Amino acid sequence: MKYTILPHTNIKVSKLCLGTMTWGRQNSEVDGHEQLDYAFDQGINFMDTAELYPVPATPETQGRTSEIIGTWLKKTGYRDKVVLASKIVGRTSDYVAHIRKTGFSPKSIQEAIDKELKRLQTDYIDLYQLHWPERLTNTFGKLGYVHDPTDEWQDNFNDVLHSLEKHIKAGKIRHVGLSNEKAWGVMRYLEEHKSHNLPRMITIQNAYSLLNRTFEGDLAEVAIRENVGLLAYSTLAFGMLTGKYTDGTATPYSRLNQFPQLKRYSGERTRRATERYVKLAKDYRLSPAKMALAFVNQQPFLTCNIIGATSLEQLKENIDSIHINLSDELNAQINAIHDSIPNPAP
């Protein structure tokens, strides 16, 4: 395993982080514990969850993912050997209405942290992230920002950081980060940190893959110059980049077949790009999954690549990607595909 340091901390984490959002819906508690055992044995010490999980979210399953991690921690006694990341839901919408509709108010943050600590069976969370901005700014499937004049959100970056600081001082969370955020939001949080000596946002968890390289715009510069580490998610695009949906080997239980409402990676441009990436990987005698993950692993703005799988076999393949180094020649051909079909799944 390869390791890195969470920015602005002394916390050493594996460059591969174990994603968990299928546990409690597609995966059972037994599956989750099996994946945790294997990942830990392979040197992965970083796990990411959220109060929303599993996804797709429902009132009946909400929080189950973290409960599975909690029972594993209790069974193994490994809490001091792992780094835990979790998230509070952000934007108020019907999708998260079963959790709360009050955004990042002080009461919401306190409630979310206290409930998550109970689910995880721990007294602290190493990295606590804001899952979505409260303002209307970032929507799957849209490349640019389109201002919505009906948005009633009021600037509350300072208030949110003060609320998070309270829980840092209480020892409930150690550090804070962002997720699904834009460059302006990151810089506003950093401005409040620098001007008022408030907690610093140290990471940003955004989608990044061969099919979605939008992070390489303004956010990449922010990440490098301000040392805000990317925790990349959906790096296999819900399994699309394994090639199983384009070659017909996906089963009825594969994620995009089981949940057809998840349309982000189902467009025609996405399929055409995927076919070309899969062929390229095979030309170089690599599995498509390993090539896709190795591409993410090599990015200069990356802190950790969040990998997830519904089967132990797939998890093993994903972890093996840490040993793959892509040649300059292969990278050039990857970029040629990207240039011809850029960001088909933003």
Overall average pLDDT of the 275-286 stretch: 98
Q: What is the mean pLDDT of residues 255-259?
A: 79
pLDDT at 92 over 70: no
Q: What is the pLDDT of residue 21?
A: 96
Identify the pLDDT of residue 143.
84
pLDDT at 251: 83
pLDDT per residue over 295-320, tens digit each?
Answer: 999 999 999 999 999 999 999 999 99
SS3 state at 18 = strand
Question: Domain segments of the chain: what residues?
Answer: 3-205
Q: Which residues contact 243 (CB under 8 A, 6 or more apart)?
A: 249, 274, 278, 281, 288, 289
Q: What is the pLDDT of residue 333?
A: 98
What is residue 139's predicted lDDT score, i.e. its pLDDT? 72
Cα 14 to chain centroid distance, Å, stands at 15
Residue 258 binned pLDDT confidence (cut-offs 50, 70, 90): confident
**Residues 86, 124: contact at Cβ < 8 Å?**
no
Q: What is the pLDDT of residue 343?
A: 96
What is the mean predicted confidence (pLDDT) over 276-289?
98
If one looks up domain 3-205 in CATH, what number appears? 3.20.20.100
Task: For 193-207, give the DSSP string.
Answer: HHHHTPPPEEEEE-B
Maximum Cα–Cα distance for the chain, whole Å? Answer: 55
**Looking at residue 34, what is its pLDDT?**
98
Instruction: Give mean pLDDT, residues 284-300.
Output: 98
- pLDDT band, residue 266 (cuts 50/70/90): confident
Mean pLDDT of the chain: 95
- The set of catalytic residues is 53
Percent of the chain scoring above 90 in pLDDT: 85
Give the range among 48-52, 54-58, 99-103, 138-142 with minimum mean pLDDT. 138-142
Q: Kindly report, residue by residue over 208-227, the tens digit of the pLDDT.
A: 999 999 999 999 999 999 99
Instruction: Read off the pLDDT of residues 224-241 as tens digits, 9 standing for 90 and up.
Output: 999 999 999 999 999 999
- Please report, as a single letter, which amino acid is at residue 210: L
pLDDT greater than 70 at residue 267: yes
Return d(Cα 343, Cα 346) in angstroms, integer.
Answer: 6
* Global pTM value: 0.96
123-155 as b/e: b if 16+ CB within 10 A: ebbbbbbbbbbbbbbbeeeeeeeeeeeeeeeee
In single-letter form, the type of residue at position 278 comes to V
Confidence grade of residue 94 (pLDDT, cut at 50, 70, 90):
confident
